[in-house]
Amino acid sequence: MVSNFGSLTIVYFPLSIWDISLWIAVMAIILLITSELIASYSEYFGDFVIDKTKLRLAALILGAAFMITVLLRAVMSP
């Protein structure tokens, strides 16, 4: 959908709850895998600049957000 306001053109990208849920799920999986790899290989490569606990916490928050979007889709479906 495109809206024209004089010389300004605004393009709207329709994102559904399914699109947002899929993005959140993929990001949570990537963060969890990354945090586990960093935790298991940190003794071989020394100290990492990335804080493993914060990375794992961000992954768990995204996982919880994914579950909330799944519940929203279940409640909103007829």
pLDDT for residue 20: 84
At position 18, the amino acid (one-letter code) is: W
pLDDT over 60 at 71, yes or no: yes
Against a cut of 0.85, is the pTM above it? no
Q: pLDDT by residue (tens digit) across 9-65?
A: 766 778 887 888 888 888 888 888 887 787 777 666 666 566 778 878 888 888 888
* C-alpha distances in Å from residue 52, one per residue of 10, 27, 45, 75: 40, 16, 14, 35
| Domain layout of the chain by residue ranges | 16-76
In the DSSP assignment, the letter for residue 6 is T
